[in-house]
Amino acid sequence: MISEARARIARFDPELIVLLGPDHYNGFFYDVMPAFCIGVAAHSIGDFGTPAGPLDVPKALAENCAGALLDAGIDIAVSYRMQVDHAFAQPLESLLGGLQACPVIPVFINSVAVPLPRFKRARLLGEALGQWARTLNKRVLFLASGGLSHQPPVPELAHVDATMADYLMGSGRNLSADERDARQKRVIQAAHHFIEDQNCLHPLNPTWDQQFLDTLEQGCLSNLDALGNDELSALAGKSTHEVKTWVCAFAALSAFGPYECEGRYYRPIPEWIAGFAGLGAHPVNSHF
């Protein structure tokens, strides 16, 4: 699946990537937690074996994008020092070949730190991104990272001690190598337990995942507007909110007209504590 997606991207040969991703308390914390944020400059921390280093963010274009979104009524934050994790680094490495392979505008969508934006806000953000991208006369790739159904052991501010609360407020922003390694080992150990007992965490929900992919394929994005955050958490797990990046990307693509999908793939992977999927799409009138 990855190789096929990489080949489709190579044929398209994007001049710009708008990369939509979540964060896992590696770059965004409760000291200031925006619903949405554009990186005018960004740096990958290199967690879970991903590359560390700067992303190739075109500063003037990212600033222009932020201004256009605000003009369109989207309350977007901006960061001139965005710190991103594997949610951004993995797709760039796996699908493009590296952090510097193509100019990219990173767009963060808060998916774990309540209060969370709802599906409608993510859809409207995507529509505004698409309208802006239409003005560029460039080949723009909308790339979304996150989901599907999953609930790994992510700390929640309302249920942690003072030390962890301080971490979530921002002290976890610059962990030492040993501290980051210990954190990652805890997640890997949780995955081992989940393989043995898939009720020790919120179970994956392949049925919901497939229905979500159907909704994207059918272009019925507004059907998700009525699905509340608590309902989604109960259905598919508290980290499933990451799929709002997918809704945002498909909404952006819809600004170019009707689209058709290809390369659909889905597999529940307990070893990753996640439903894993891929889905490509392009406007019906495009040829590449």
CB 37 within 8 A of CB 107: yes
Q: Is 44 helix (H, G, I), strand (E, B) or coil?
A: strand
Burial class (CB in 10 A: 0-12, 13-18, 19+), 165: middle
Q: How far apart are CA 250 and CA 50, in angstroms?
A: 26
Burial class (CB in 10 A: 0-12, 13-18, 19+), 228: exposed
In this structure, the chain runs to a length of 288
Q: How far apart are CA 264 and CA 60, in angstroms?
A: 35
**Phi and psi for 159 in degrees, rounded to 5?**
-130, 30
Side chain identity at residue 270, one-letter code: P
Catalytic residue check, 150: yes
Q: Which residue in 24, 86, 202, 241 is the catalytic one?
A: 86
Q: How far apart are the first and last CA of the chain?
A: 19
Dihedral (CA of 109, 110, 112, 117) sign: negative
- Could you say which DSSP state residue 34 is in? -
Q: Which residue in 24, 150, 202, 241 is the catalytic one?
A: 150
Q: How far apart are CA 263 and CA 250, in angstroms?
A: 15
Q: Which residues are catalytic?
A: 86, 150
